[in-house]
């Protein structure tokens, strides 16, 4: 099971993502942006990892989305292969129109705005551990294939632009109706509260991750590869006391693997 | 006497602008504009609306705060915005709230004490050096194809002389 | 340039007119060695190489006299860009510590970003993977007369750090921030970076053996050379004057983390090529002194000469040779390699990693050759613009500076004991120097690379597990207290070392090595030079008397460091600031402990007696606005025992939480253990178990005497006592963790502090955001 971990100039999470891919028994390979795009057809799945591709020039994801390898990924997506975009990878998938999946740019990930009680507390880059509620049904989406509905995952975020906005009428309702809202920011009890710090970046309806209508393409702002082992958890998480246990983010990679197995 | 005026600060890098170079490279190598595009330059635009004070004096103070003389040059225009011949200026701004513009306004007002600052707007002006026919149409394609995400940005192809909106 | 035969004032005028900072005597000595008038390029090269920054001309003798740099774990001391210490038989930590103070005062964003950019190059060029950075920052008084400027600097510096570091993809493991009016006109932006390398894969920054005989290539990699950093080195060595600020801006470099990110990956391929081919190369980053410094030092350290042709250098424009020679264009590296590797090296950078399309004009170019001569020769457009003895150029010069103690009128204040300890406590918790650092570290990507075990705010030091499949962890902490420095530079130096070591010990890591960044005023002033020497002595004494664990009488080695002088303006110099970073090693990251309280009912133990030494304390300053006189001492034997005992107790699994006592004393230490996330538990302290009966309560609570507060794991109390007794320490049981979310402190049955956790937390989490708003 071969997974291409895409690498653009400025990508900076490819190595830890590769560790996660390999740790669940898939075979990962870092795929540099200027390799022949046709080689991508030999892979069973793809991860577009986090970082600052092209230094977020013009806006996050915009330049990378024009690379020939992204055209190739579009074709692979049409074949039903799984693609997971994490953080900047999510931004790139939005800019290529792979998410929400209508083929055109249907939303933007704008600058974070932290609002509480009607007051802007802060803007822009933010790094912290957040709670994610899995809102889709299991088997709906490649990257959450094995995750129960309403399961809560602790995973860190680190981004400046993760605030989902759209001018497409009815898009958010459609995403919800079609079970394409995969992850939402929530409090430790699983309640979605549209206020900072629970909604950590001001995203519409606290949306943290979405998939395409077919479910094979997932984009999420949080970084599951940074929550892969229990030892990576924050100090206040009691699971850290068993450092060698799996971390909450591992399920995303296990899901991808299972998705590929089931499809095959 | 209270007169509202708009101080436009056009700011550009004296050193090579890596972002403009990347845009040019992408348009030519990845998006098929090799025949129509010669060069891309970029400016930052601050439009600062004040409700009192000597605009010339204020413009000098604002430039001191907002322009980094070590690496940037600037030009001030009062109550109007105009651009030179030779390129198509495409102004891109957020149509959702611009947090950086709000921060700039708050910094000028609260930290630096310019209480006459009413509003600050920010934009990026992409200067597209085009060749051939239908330059306006090409600029439109470039803007919509790369320079904006319509869910947060809007753009305007600027004429040679524009009065403030 | 004409020098020979001219009068001093004419030479002076010529030098200044050309923008050269060196003295007339220095210029004459160069003309004498050359036997002719030097060219403009030669003078620029010497000026850069003989600057304080490149040559340590004022400081080197003092550093050599006092600082221990050797030890059983030292793989490489302070001879190249970074120091290296062994973790085990296979892995090593690479560490470097620099300052970027002057540029950051003028252009905070670019200055701070360039600081990170430079330090990570220093680490990477040893063949290492950069795995963490930390930034010790000092800003002026955010509520003082220059508050607006101070906040502008602070905001810009933090922005520069996160914008560069996050994009590069190196986690920020913390650092510290101190505000104090002595930094109003001179902020300090220090930066520490660590890397990991296998011992057999270290790459040196010198022309390898045989390079001259075989005519090795000199290959320049990275951004096209421009003029943007011109004069940066000389700049860092002169006190800032307000009227020069505009002119000085020309000295700041423009960093580019995006290009650096790609360069690092290309460098990894270079390292792989070197490993696979079994060929030794020289590799060095370009920093202060630019191209001249990197090339000449690389040649000189291999005892070779070299020929450079500036026409072959890739550049942003047709600059004159003196600019190309010393411009401090960022994001560049230099390779010295045999001709048989040439094509493959060029291919890595120019094709595989496509530098020319990643950054306009960037690439790898062959710019010269190593030879067996002893000259540093540079040609430009067919003209020999520089032809000097390479060892003379790189040898630098030394100055013997005068020293004279700085006399300050210091006194202990006569103060009333607070009537309302709750209010006193809240005021201190909200002060900019005590309040939670969360406002700042949420800007830093603390998680990238996925190695983070303990992150900023969770404990006294950060901890990473940098190698997957290995259990060891690397801890990093920094410290320096400018208020102590004002009272006694000696004790500030000694405390910085001891405190940085306590910080890594508090999570269970063993202090392994130290670095220092010594920030002082103008060394040509005897008082400033005295402060420098005192601080170095203090640092050295702590290193020598606390020892490397497991090696009695073996000093903890200092393997890297930096001296930053001229941190002064006409209003005066910064408080003496010997900033120390400590790297600690823990064998199993699973054993590390953090500072948050873990379980209600757990008992709290104090180690380290309280003394009446509140000079420079948070309590004196924030409540009474005075500095005082009795600066905390480092009681070397006591400190050593405490550090070792804590490490031992943590290793045995006896400790649930641990926090060292520093700024704000026992009061703040205990409060922070409760206030840090998850902030679900409170505590009760009873000072009867903590103190000399004669010491007044406010001094017990707020004295910054060294110590630790430990939450014992339930059922391990007696074992903990035994461990402490084994180190001749008294385990003072001072309280317990409570279910009630309150902070309660009693003495002689009377409640002194009784604060609701949420109320205290609001003050504590807001203090820094308010100060930087």
B103 touching chain C per CB within 8 A:
no
At C239 the pLDDT is 55
Strands (DSSP E) contained in A177-258 are 181-186, 207-211, 217-220
Q: How many helices (H) and strands (E) does chain C have?
A: 27, 28
Within 10 A of C183 (CB to CB), how many other CB atoms are there? 27
A207 touching chain B per CB within 8 A:
no
Question: Mean pLDDT in runs of 10 for chain B (165 residues)?
Answer: 85 87 96 96 96 93 86 91 94 95 91 91 97 93 97 89 42
* Annotated catalytic residue C100: yes
ipTM score of complex: 0.96
Distance in angstroms (rounded) separating the CA atoms of residues A99 and A70: 13
Tokens 């605030």, located at residue: A163
DSSP conformation class of A246: B
At C281 the pLDDT is 97
Of the candidates C152, C226, C357, the beta carbon closest to that of B15 is on C226
Distance in angstroms (rounded) separating the CA atoms of residues C32 and C4: 8
| C-contacting chains (≥3 CB pairs under 8 Å) | A, B
Q: Which chain A residues have a beta carbon less than 8 Å from that of C258?
A: 9-10, 52, 54-55
CA distance A234 to chain B (A): 30
- Asked if the Cβ–Cβ distance from A127 to C444 is below 8 Å, we say yes
Kindly report each contact of residues C245-252 with a partner whose C-beta sits within 8 Å and lies 24 or more positions away, as own/partner.
Answer: C245/C106, C246/B69, C248/C102, C248/C106, C249/B68, C249/B69, C249/B70, C249/C106, C249/C107, C250/B70, C251/C103, C251/C106, C252/B70, C252/C103, C252/C106, C252/C107, C252/C110, C252/C111, C252/C114, C252/C228
At C355 the pLDDT is 96
At C249 the pLDDT is 43
Q: Which residues contact C370 (CB under 8 A, 6 or more apart)?
A: C207, C211, C212, C215, C216, C217, C218, C299, C302, C304, C305, C306, C336
Residues A192-225 pLDDT 10s? 999 999 999 999 999 999 999 999 999 999 999 9
Of the candidates B30, B103, B147, the beta carbon closest to that of A66 is on B30
Q: Which fold has domain B5-162?
A: Mth169; Chain: A , (3.30.1280)
Residues C504-547 pLDDT 10s? 999 999 999 999 999 999 999 999 999 999 999 999 999 999 99
User: Helix axis angle, C636-651 relative to C526-546, nearest 10°?
Assistant: 50
**Residues of A annotated as catalytic (active site), given as ranges:** 87, 223, 225
Total number of domains constituting chain C: 3
Q: What percent of chain C has pLDDT over 70?
A: 97
CATH number at residue A113: 3.40.50.880
> Does the pLDDT value for residue C236 go beyond 80?
no
> Does the pLDDT value for residue C39 go beyond 70?
yes
Tokens 């690092």, located at residue: C264
Q: For the purposes of burial, counting CB atoms within 10 Å of the CB of C7, is it exposed (0-12), middle (13-18) or buried (19 or more)?
A: exposed
At A140 the pLDDT is 97
Within 10 A of A36 (CB to CB), how many other CB atoms are there? 9
At B110 the pLDDT is 85
> Does the pLDDT value for residue C247 go beyond 70?
no
At C240 the pLDDT is 53
Q: What percent of chain C has pLDDT over 90?
A: 88
CATH number at residue C746: 3.90.650.10
Q: Which chain B residues have a beta carbon less than 8 Å from that of A62?
A: 146, 149
> Does the pLDDT value for residue C53 go beyond 90?
no
- 3-state class (DSSP) for residue A31: strand
Distance in angstroms (rounded) separating the CA atoms of residues C301 and A236: 50
User: Is residue C238 very low, low, confident or very high in pLDDT (cuts 50, 70, 90)?
Assistant: low
**Which of C447, C600, C711 has the highest number of chain A CBs within 10 A, making it the mutation to test binding with A?**
C447
Task: Please give the backbone phi and psi of residue A109, each rounded to the nearest 5 degrees, phi first.
Answer: -105, 100
Q: Chain B residue with minimal CA distance to A106? A: B151
* C473 inside domain: no
Of the candidates C166, C459, C465, the beta carbon closest to that of A231 is on C465
Is the distance from CB of A31 to CB of A37 less than 8 angstroms?
A: no
User: Is residue C593 very low, low, confident or very high in pLDDT (cuts 50, 70, 90)?
Assistant: very high
* Residue A6, domain extent: 2-263
CA distance B149 to chain A (A): 7
Tokens 């090579």, located at residue: B16
Distance in angstroms (rounded) separating the CA atoms of residues C515 and C517: 7
Mean pLDDT of C296-325: 94
Q: Which residues contact C632 (CB under 8 A, 6 or more apart)?
A: C484, C491, C495, C611, C613, C615, C616, C703, C704, C705, C706
* C565 inside domain: no
Within 10 A of C49 (CB to CB), how many other CB atoms are there? 26
Tokens standing for residue A247: 């971390």
Integer distance in angstroms from the first to the last C-alpha of chain A?
10
Q: Which pLDDT tens digits describe chain A residue by residue (264 residues)?
A: 999 999 999 999 999 999 999 999 999 999 999 999 999 999 999 999 999 999 999 999 999 999 999 999 999 999 999 999 999 999 999 999 999 998 899 999 999 999 999 899 999 999 999 999 999 999 999 999 999 999 999 999 999 999 999 999 999 999 999 999 999 999 999 999 999 999 999 999 999 999 999 999 999 999 999 999 999 999 999 999 999 999 999 999 999 999 999 987
Same domain? C731 vs C611:
yes
- Write the secondary structure of C529-585 as one string of H (helix), E (strand) and C (coil): HHHHHHHHHHHHHHHHHHCECCECCCCCCEEEEEEECCCEECCEECCCEEEEEEEEE
B160 touching chain C per CB within 8 A:
no
Same domain? C634 vs C736:
yes
CA Rg value for chain A: 17
Is the distance from CB of C509 to CB of C565 less than 8 angstroms?
A: no
Of the candidates A51, A56, A225, the beta carbon closest to that of C450 is on A225
Of the candidates B15, B71, B111, the beta carbon closest to that of C151 is on B111
Domain end residue (candidates: C355, C378, C395): C395
Distance in angstroms (rounded) separating the CA atoms of residues C344 and C352: 10
Q: Which chain A residues have a beta carbon less than 8 Å from that of C596?
A: 235-236
> Does the pLDDT value for residue C430 go beyond 80?
yes
pTM as predicted: 0.95
Distance in angstroms (rounded) separating the CA atoms of residues C3 and C11: 6
At C229 the pLDDT is 67
The number of residues making up chain C comes to 773
Same domain? C24 vs C97:
no
Range scoring the smallest mean pLDDT among A16-30, B14-28, C419-433, C448-462? B14-28
Total number of domains constituting chain A: 1
User: Is residue C476 very low, low, confident or very high in pLDDT (cuts 50, 70, 90)?
Assistant: very high
Tokens 């600037």, located at residue: B74
* C239 inside domain: yes
Same domain? C243 vs C174:
yes
- Asked if the Cβ–Cβ distance from C162 to A232 is below 8 Å, we say no
Q: Which chain C residues have a beta carbon less than 8 Å from that of B25?
A: 357, 360
Same domain? C23 vs C134:
no
* Residue C350, domain extent: 58-395
At C231 the pLDDT is 47
At C600 the pLDDT is 98
The enclosing H or E element of C708 equals strand C708-712
At C254 the pLDDT is 77
Q: Which residues contact A81 (CB under 8 A, 6 or more apart)?
A: A43, A44, A45, A46, A216, A260
C638 touching chain B per CB within 8 A:
no
Beta bridge partners of C190: C99
C352 touching chain A per CB within 8 A:
yes
Tokens 């210091």, located at residue: C410
Distance in angstroms (rounded) separating the CA atoms of residues C122 and C430: 37
Mean pLDDT of C166-187: 95
Mind giving me the DSSP string for A217-235? EEEESS-GGGGSBGGGS-T
CA distance B82 to chain A (A): 23
Residues C254-285 pLDDT 10s? 788 999 999 999 999 999 999 999 999 999 99
Looking at every residue in chain C, the average pLDDT score rounds to: 94
């Amino acid at each position: 099971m071969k997974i291409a971990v895409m690498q653009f100039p400025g990508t900076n999470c490819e190595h830890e993502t590769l560790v996660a891919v390999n740790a669940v028994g898939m075979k990962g390979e870092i795929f540099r942006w200027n390799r022949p795009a046709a080689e991508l057809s030999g892979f069973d799945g793809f991860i577009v990892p986090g970082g600052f591709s092209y230094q977020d020039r013009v806006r996050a994801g915009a330049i990378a989305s024009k690379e020939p390898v992204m055209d190739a990924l579009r074709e692979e997506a049409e074949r039903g292969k799984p693609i997971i975009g994490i953080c900047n990878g999510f931004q790139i998938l939005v800019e290529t129109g792979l998410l929400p999946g209508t083929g055109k740019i249907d939303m933007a990930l704008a600058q974070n705005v932290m609002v509480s009680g009607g007051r802007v507390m802060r803007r822009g880059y933010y790094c912290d551990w957040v709670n994610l509620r899995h809102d889709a049904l299991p088997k709906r989406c490649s990257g959450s294939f094995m995750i129960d509905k309403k399961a809560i995952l602790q995973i860190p975020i680190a981004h400046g632009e993760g605030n989902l906005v759209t001018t497409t009428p009815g898009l958010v309702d459609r995403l919800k109706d079609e079970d394409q809202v995969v992850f939402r920011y929530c409090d430790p009890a699983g309640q979605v509260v549209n206020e900072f710090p629970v909604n950590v970046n001001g995203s519409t309806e606290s949306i943290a991750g979405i998939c395409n209508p077919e479910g094979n393409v997932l984009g999420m702002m949080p970084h599951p590869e940074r929550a892969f082992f229990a030892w990576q958890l924050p100090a206040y998480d009691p699971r850290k006391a068993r450092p060698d246990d799996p971390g909450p983010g591992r399920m995303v990679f296990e899901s991808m693997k299972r998705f590929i197995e089931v499809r095959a | 006497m209270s007169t509202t005026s708009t101080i436009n600060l056009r700011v550009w890098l004296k050193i090579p602008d890596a972002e403009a170079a990347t845009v040019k490279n992408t348009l030519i190598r990845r998006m098929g504009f090799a025949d129509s595009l010669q060069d891309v330059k970029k400016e930052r635009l601050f439009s600062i609306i004040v409700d009192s004070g000597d605009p010339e004096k204020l413009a000098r103070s604002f430039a001191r705060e907002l322009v980094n003389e070590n690496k940037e040059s600037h030009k001030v225009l009062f109550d109007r915005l105009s651009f030179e011949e030779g390129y198509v200026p495409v102004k891109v701004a957020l149509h959702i709230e611009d947090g950086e513009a709000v921060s700039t306004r708050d910094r000028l007002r609260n930290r630096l004490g310019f209480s006459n600052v009413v509003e600050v707007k920010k934009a990026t002006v992409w200067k597209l050096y085009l060749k051939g026919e239908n330059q306006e149409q090409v600029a439109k394609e470039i803007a919509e194809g790369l320079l904006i995400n319509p869910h947060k940005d809007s753009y305007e192809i600027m004429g040679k002389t524009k009065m403030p909106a | 340039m004409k020098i020979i035969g001219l009068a001093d004032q004419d030479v002076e005028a010529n030098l200044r007119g050309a923008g050269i900072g060196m003295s007339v005597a220095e210029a004459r000595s160069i003309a004498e060695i050359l036997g002719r008038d030097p060219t403009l390029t030669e003078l620029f090269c010497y000026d850069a190489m003989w600057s304080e920054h490149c040559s340590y001309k004022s400081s080197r003798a003092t550093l050599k006299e006092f600082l221990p740099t050797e030890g059983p774990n030292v793989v490489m001391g302070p001879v190249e860009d970074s120091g290296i210490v062994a973790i085990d038989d296979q892995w090593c930590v690479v560490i470097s510590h620099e300052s970027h103070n002057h540029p950051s005062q003028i252009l905070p964003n670019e200055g701070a970003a360039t600081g990170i950019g430079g330090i990570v190059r220093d680490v990477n060029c040893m063949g290492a993977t950069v795995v963490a950075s930390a930034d010790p920052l000092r800003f002026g008084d955010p509520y003082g007369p220059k508050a607006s400027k101070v906040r502008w600097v602070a905001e810009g510096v933090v922005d520069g750090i996160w914008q560069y570091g996050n994009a590069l993809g190196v986690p920020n493991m913390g650092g510290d921030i101190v505000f104090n009016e002595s930094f109003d006109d001179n902020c300090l932006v220090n930066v520490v970076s660590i890397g990991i390398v296998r011992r057999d894969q270290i790459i040196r920054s010198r022309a390898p053996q045989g390079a001259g005989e075989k005519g090795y290539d000199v290959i320049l990699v990275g951004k096209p050379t421009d003029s943007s950093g011109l004069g940066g080195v000389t700049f860092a060595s002169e006190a800032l004057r307000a009227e020069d600020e505009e002119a000085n801006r020309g000295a700041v470099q423009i960093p580019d983390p995006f290009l650096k990110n790609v360069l690092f990956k290309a460098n990894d391929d270079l390292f792989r090529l070197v490993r696979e081919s079994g060929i030794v190369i020289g590799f060095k980053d370009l920093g202060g002194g630019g191209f001249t410094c990197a090339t000449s030092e690389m040649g000189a350290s291999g005892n070779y000469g070299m020929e450079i042709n500036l026409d072959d250098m890739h550049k942003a424009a047709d600059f004159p040779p003196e600019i190309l020679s010393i411009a401090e264009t960022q994001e560049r590296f230099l390779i010295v390699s045999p001709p048989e590797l040439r094509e493959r090296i060029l291919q890595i950078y120019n094709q595989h990693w496509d530098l020319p399309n990643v950054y306009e004009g960037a690439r790898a170019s062959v710019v010269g050759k190593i030879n067996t001569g002893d000259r540093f020769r540079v040609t430009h457009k067919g003209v020999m613009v520089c032809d000097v003895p390479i060892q003379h150029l790189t040898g630098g010069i030394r100055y013997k500076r005068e020293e004279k103690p700085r006399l300050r009128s210091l006194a202990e204040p006569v103060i009333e004991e607070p009537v309302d300890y709750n209010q006193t406590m809240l005021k201190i918790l909200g002060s900019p120097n005590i309040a939670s650092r969360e406002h700042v570290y949420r800007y830093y990507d603390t998680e990238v690379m996925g190695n983070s075990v303990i992150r900023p705010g969770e404990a006294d030091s950060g901890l990473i597990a940098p190698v997957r499949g290995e259990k060891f962890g690397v801890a990093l902490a920094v410290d320096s207290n400018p208020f102590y420095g004002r009272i006694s530079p000696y004790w500030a130096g000694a405390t910085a070392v001891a405190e940085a070591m306590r910080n890594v010990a508090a999570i269970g890591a063993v202090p392994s090595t130290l670095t220092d960044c010594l920030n002082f005023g103008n060394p040509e002033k005897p008082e400033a030079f005295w402060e420098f020497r005192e601080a170095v002595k203090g640092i050295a004494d702590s290193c020598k008397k606390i020892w490397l664990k497991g090696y009695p009488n073996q000093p903890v080695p200092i393997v890297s460091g930096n001296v930053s002088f001229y941190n002064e303006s006409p209003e005066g110099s910064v408080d003496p600031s010997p900033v120390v970073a400590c790297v600690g090693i823990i064998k199993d990251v699973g054993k590390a402990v953090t500072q948050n309280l873990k379980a209600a009912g757990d008992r709290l133990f104090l180690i380290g007696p309280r003394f009446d030494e509140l000079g420079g304390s948070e309590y004196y300053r924030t409540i009474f606005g005075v500095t005082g006189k009795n600066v905390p001492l480092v009681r070397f034997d006591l400190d050593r025992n405490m550090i070792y005992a804590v490490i031992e107790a943590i290793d045995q699994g006896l400790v649930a939480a641990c926090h060292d006592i520093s700024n704000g004393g026992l009061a703040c230490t205990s409060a922070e253990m409760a206030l840090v996330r998850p902030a679900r538990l409170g505590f009760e302290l009873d000072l009867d178990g903590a103190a000399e009966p004669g010491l007044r309560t406010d001094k017990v609570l707020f004295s910054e005497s060294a110590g630790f507060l430990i939450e014992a794991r339930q059922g391990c109390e007696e074992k903990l006592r035994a461990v402490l007794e084994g180190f001749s320490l008294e385990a003072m049981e001072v309280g317990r963790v409570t279910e009630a979310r309150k902070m309660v402190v009693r003495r002689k049955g009377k409640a002194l502090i009784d604060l609701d956790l949420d109320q205290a937390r609001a003050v504590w989490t807001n203090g820094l955001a308010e100060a930087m708003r």
